[in-house]
Amino acid sequence: MKRPGPTTTATVWKVRGTRPMQEPDRLAAEEPMEIRVESDARDQRETTSLSVTMRTPGNDFELAAGFLFTEGIVARKRDITRIEYCTDPGVAQEYNIVSVVLHPDVEFRADRLARHFYMSSSCGVCGKTALEAVRVAIRDPIPKNGPLLDPKMIVGIPERLRKDQALFSETGGLHAAGLFDAAGQLSSLREDVGRHNAVDKVVGEAFLAGRTPLAKTVLAVSGRSSFEILQKAAVAGIPFVIAVGAPSSLAVAIAEEFGMTLVGFARGDRFNIYAGRDRIVNLAG
């Protein structure tokens, strides 16, 4: 089977005024990806279908690793023995199934995990319960000092993120997540149809390279900042999050609870500070 790419081509009718013209168009690809976990704990190999997510194909191993890390299943690179595409005979969509083999020392309990995912994603869960779930998953505390950014740097980061979104330029249909340093330099960027997937991919890349926790980095996202995005940032040890869109109330609660800086509506020369004002320097008054 041919490995799917991040974009595809479709023939569409483009209308200018009242005149239709049939032309090719680039679309962002969207396909399901199943994440399976293989565990050797208690001398018994177990395979668990952990999650199915709709994603843009590409950087699939980073997505799987980032998901397991930000959900608190693994803590260090050595916790994963290997990551591979499914090679089961008779499986037609092998590039849409990723298997993560855990180190035998990693304790994996699928029954506990089901409850954790429910708390992480359910819109009916109370804030207190959700914050407790994040607290359990965090292994490295958020640093209190830095990174420090001034307003000019903050408004420049979303512009840099947008400029480097190559797939968005082709399709206009992808979210992005990028990691920056305190000087505003972009170190990594990933795109996906799902904003949470984009964060998992960029965090997963750092995790597999042994660069976590990301205590000196700034996470920038192209859309709004939800509970899940702040949860993933907190688990990764990221102290500073900049979003082009609005935050949710629970995202603000996480930032306040764990001492993170959260900026939203970062567009043009404006932005709102929702938490962690002390990391922003050179503010007038």
Q: What is the pLDDT of residues 192-245, one digit of tens each?
A: 999 999 999 999 999 999 999 999 999 999 999 999 999 999 999 999 999 999
Residue 123 bears catalytic tag: yes
- Domain(s) labelled CATH 3.10.20.10 in the chain stretch across 31-137
Report residue 108's pLDDT band, with 50, 70 and 90 as the boundaries. Answer: confident
pTM: 0.89
158-207: pLDDT as tens digits: 999 999 988 877 788 799 999 999 999 999 999 999 999 999 999 999 99
Angle at 83 between CA 79 and CA 89, to 5 degrees: 135
Q: How many CB atoms lie within 10 A of CB 45?
A: 11
For the chain, how are helix, strand and coil distributed in percent, rounded to 5? 35, 30, 35
- Domain(s) labelled CATH 3.40.140.10 in the chain stretch across 151-279
Q: Above 60 in pLDDT, residue 260?
A: yes
CATH topology of domain 151-279: Cytidine Deaminase; domain 2 (3.40.140)
Q: Above 50 in pLDDT, residue 14?
A: yes
Contact 68, 38 (CB under 8 A): no
Contact 200, 179 (CB under 8 A): no
Annotated catalytic residue within 123, 183, 283, 284: 123
The pLDDT, as a whole number, for residue 122 is 41
Phi-psi region of 259 (alpha: psi -120 to 50; beta: other; left: phi over 0): left
The pLDDT, as a whole number, for residue 81 is 96
Which CATH number is 31-137's, of 3.60.21.10, 3.10.20.10, 1.25.40.10, 3.10.129.10? 3.10.20.10
